Amino acid sequence: MIDKIKSKIRTIPNFPKEGIQFRDVTTLFQDDEGLKLVVDILAERYKKQDIDVVVGIEARGFILCGIIARELGTGCVLVRKKGKLPFATKSITYDLEYGTDTLEIHVDAIKKGQKVLLIDDLLATGGTALAAAELITNAGGIIQEIAFVIDLPEIGGKQKLADKGFKTFNIVEFDGE
């Protein structure tokens, strides 16, 4: 099953820049069997846990957030890039390889003490997920786990998140392929 999911993820060499192997989940999400496989794995795992709300990271995380939230019977909260959310926000700025980026969440999106499942498509350095997790924690949420479809283990994001006390789960890995 894992090999089947991996086979449906398209790899684009040198995108968006030289040396990056871009793992394109649009080919997985557009495939009826592929989307069902990842949704079933995540839904089965998190139905057994006590999740109050699912949070998705822009943009591919939104797709899974909506579907998994519906499967769990929870709401879906959006963490977006700066300037996209219309109401008052809390924000966090984090370092990229070159420069910085800012993520935002609506001030009233997370209730204090809510147990949160955070979702994105891919874990690389972990910088994006860590920033989103800190935003949620600062807003009073409790991260139960951070779920990804893909981990790139050689980049070390999983360890970076573990060092900050965040548990992660991923369905597939691409390791030097």
Q: Is 157 in the site for ligand AMP (CB under 6 A)?
A: yes
102: left (phi > 0), else alpha (psi -120 to 50), else beta? beta
How does DSSP classify residue 52?
S
Contact call for residues 117 and 129 (beta carbons, < 8 A): no
Q: Calculate the alpha carbon distances from 143 to 21, 134, 138 in Å.
A: 29, 9, 11
The neighbour count for residue 174, using CB atoms within 10 Å, is 16
Q: Is 60 in the site for ligand AMP (CB under 6 A)?
A: yes
How does DSSP classify residue 139?
T
Q: Of 34, 56, 126, 141, which one interacts with ligand AMP (CB under 6 A)?
A: 126
Q: Of 7, 21, 100, 159, which one interacts with ligand AMP (CB under 6 A)?
A: 21
Q: Is 82 in the site for ligand AMP (CB under 6 A)?
A: no
Q: Is 22 in the site for ligand AMP (CB under 6 A)?
A: yes
Binding string, residues 24-53; x marks residues near ligand AMP by CB under 6 A:
------------------------------
Using the rule CB under 6 A, give the single segment among 1-9, 21-29, 64-72, 82-90 that binds ligand AMP: 21-29
Contact call for residues 72 and 54 (beta carbons, < 8 A): yes
Active site annotation includes 60: yes
C-alpha to C-alpha distance for 49 and 61, rounded to whole angstroms: 20
Q: Is 124 in the site for ligand AMP (CB under 6 A)?
A: yes
The amino acid present at 97, given as its one-letter code, is E
Closer of 69 and 131 to ligand AMP (Cβ): 131
Q: Indicate which residues carry an active-site annotation.
A: 60, 97
Residues that bind ligand AMP in the complex, under the rule CB under 6 A: 20-23, 57, 60, 120-129, 157
